[in-house]
Amino acid sequence: MGVIELLGNTTLSSLCIDRPKPIWPFEGKQQSICSRGNRGLQTSISIMASSTVPAAAVNEKDDGEQLECLSKVSGDSFIRSHLRKLKPYQPILPFEVLSAQLGRKPEDIVKLDANENPYGPPPEVFEALGAMKFPYIYPDPESRRLRAALAEDSGLGSEYILAGCGADELIDLIMRCVLDPGDKIVDCPPTFTMYEFDAAVNGAFVVKVPRNSDFSLDVERIVQVVEQEKPKCIFLTSPNNPDGSIIGDDTLLKILDLPILVVLDEAYIEFSGIESKMQWVKKHENLIVLRTFSKRAGLAGLRVGYGAFPLSIIEYLWRAKQPYNVSVAAEVSACAALRNSAYLEKVKVALVQERERLFKLLKEVPFLNPFPSYSNFILCEVASGMDAKKLKEDLAKMGVMIRHYNNKELSGYVRVSVGKPEQTDALMKCLKCLS
């Protein structure tokens, strides 16, 4: 059974109430709120209808009293009600923090916790960054050079492509364009947690359809949920983070037949050996495909991702996106990376080979059950009485970072990113010490 989770306390009835609300002077200080008195009131349909801001109190008192009244208002009362209930996103420990804690150089930390590309970008990227002529000029809002390069790289016309500050930005942008408060999305956990997080930020409900025990999608249940709950969109990940499984064409086509917008996240597609579905957006009006330079080109720190969209959808993303979402540095880096496709291919082959070696080695560890992966990471069940969280902590003390999860479904698992051969060797040495 999928679980409908109400993220935040926004309810449908709280979304459509006609009620006067203060116009908050976003440009101003607290004094300017007080000095406006009654002029700061208008009638509107608002999702802030359930706000605890004391509009009536502001309305009735004179300016001096209002100032006193507002000074007692706690800052969080200005925050949208559904956001006040938001669980914070749990960021990973920055590796430089761990290296400082351990008294080691950052480069001596074996960082296998965030699926970055340990080879980094091709040398052309460093040259392009050093040769940047106009960092003081705003970037091209349409990222024309990058989109032209991506069109060549993907074979899809640049009019179908939009770039973003990482795929992360595009996930949020899609939700901002598609979801009205109270709309539903389908999420298939365990998967990338940003879908659930961004849905909560955008005031949407999350209908969860958990994956089968082999991490494949429960398609029957997805069909049922689409019929019953009428969600607006579904987020699918292939290969899926954290287990590395892929979605077959038949399954994808079945879901594309449903009356739902399908966002297919291909952040790790390069490691899978299967073709990207970017071209499919020409045939399927309800498909969006997301990609990133973070994994493929070792540019996670520069934040650049892209998506392929049907023309009927992309138009609205253009209207809603921040004009300068892709920085000058990000655009020149991504273009430079694409110019050295031989390097990108070499690094991909090295990571795929290392994944196979790592998988065999992890299989020999008595307390780990690794899952086969089509990506640049391997999920492992932690068995034989070993505690997954403690394993992660013990490895961190030895300078090896892997990912552990706080959520219930994955609390007994760890995920290990594929690194360079010497990083695999260091990990195995530490695991031996813990055996």
Ligand X SMILES: Cc1ncc(COP(=O)(O)O)c(C=O)c1O
The reply on whether position 267 binds ligand X by CB under 6 A is yes
- Write the DSSP assignment of 332-379 as a string of letters: HHHHHHHH-HHHHHHHHHHHHHHHHHHHHHHHTSTTEEEPP-SSSEEE
Comparing CA positions, the residue from 201, 198, 326 lying closest to residue 263 is: 198
Among 156, 167, 261, 382, binds ligand X (CB under 6 A): 167
Mode of pairing for the β-strands spanning 233-237 and 17-22: unpaired
268 in Cβ contact with 296 (< 8 Å): no
Among 158, 294, 325, 423, binds ligand X (CB under 6 A): 294
Comparing CA positions, the residue from 273, 226, 234, 256 lying closest to residue 373 is: 273
Cβ at position 117, least distance to ligand X in Å: 11
The reply on whether position 192 binds ligand X by CB under 6 A is yes
* Nearer Cβ to ligand X (47/328): 328
Stretch that binds ligand X, among 136-144, 166-174, 205-213, 339-347 (CB under 6 A): 166-174
Stretch that binds ligand X, among 142-150, 220-228, 292-300, 395-403 (CB under 6 A): 292-300
Residues in CB range of 23: below 8 A, 6 or more apart: 36, 40, 41, 42
Cβ at position 414, least distance to ligand X in Å: 16
- Write the DSSP assignment of 47-87 as a string of letters: TTTT----HHHHHHS-HHHHHHHHHTS-GGGGS-HHHHTPP
Q: How far apart are CA 169 and CA 306, in angstroms?
A: 9
* Nearer Cβ to ligand X (237/276): 237
The reply on whether position 166 binds ligand X by CB under 6 A is yes
Among 117, 237, 245, 424, binds ligand X (CB under 6 A): 237
Comparing CA positions, the residue from 91, 268, 295 lying closest to residue 197 is: 91
Among 168, 198, 243, 354, binds ligand X (CB under 6 A): 168
Instruction: Find residue 208's DSSP bridge partners.
Output: 3, 187
* Nearer Cβ to ligand X (36/403): 403
The reply on whether position 270 binds ligand X by CB under 6 A is no
Cβ at position 306, least distance to ligand X in Å: 9
Cβ at position 93, least distance to ligand X in Å: 16
Q: How far apart are CA 346 and CA 298, in angstroms?
A: 13
Q: How far apart are CA 81 and CA 116, in angstroms?
A: 35
Cβ at position 159, least distance to ligand X in Å: 22
Stretch that binds ligand X, among 88-96, 150-158, 164-172, 278-286 (CB under 6 A): 164-172
Comparing CA positions, the residue from 289, 280, 232 lying closest to residue 258 is: 232
Torsional sign, CA 120, 101, 410, 170: negative
Cβ at position 419, least distance to ligand X in Å: 15
Which of positions 408-427 make contact with ligand X (CB under 6 A)?
none
* Nearer Cβ to ligand X (51/243): 243
Q: How far apart are CA 262 and CA 324, in angstroms?
A: 26
The reply on whether position 190 binds ligand X by CB under 6 A is no
* Nearer Cβ to ligand X (81/237): 237
Which of positions 46-75 make contact with ligand X (CB under 6 A)?
none
The reply on whether position 300 binds ligand X by CB under 6 A is yes
8 in Cβ contact with 203 (< 8 Å): yes
Residues in CB range of 399: below 8 A, 6 or more apart: 98, 99, 102, 104, 108, 109, 110, 426
- Chain centroid to Cα 124, Å, comes to 27
Whether residue 190 has a cis bond before it, omega within 30° of 0? yes
* Nearer Cβ to ligand X (269/426): 269
Residue nearest to ligand X (CB): 166
* Nearer Cβ to ligand X (267/332): 267
Applying CB under 6 A, what is the total number of residues that bind ligand X? 13
Cβ at position 390, least distance to ligand X in Å: 24
Cβ at position 167, least distance to ligand X in Å: 4
Cβ at position 343, least distance to ligand X in Å: 19
The reply on whether position 241 binds ligand X by CB under 6 A is yes
* Nearer Cβ to ligand X (99/237): 237
Comparing CA positions, the residue from 178, 179, 209 lying closest to residue 191 is: 209
Among 10, 81, 115, 423, binds ligand X (CB under 6 A): 115
- Chain centroid to Cα 195, Å, comes to 6
Binding site for ligand X (CB under 6 A): 115, 166-168, 192, 237, 241, 265, 267, 292, 294, 300, 305
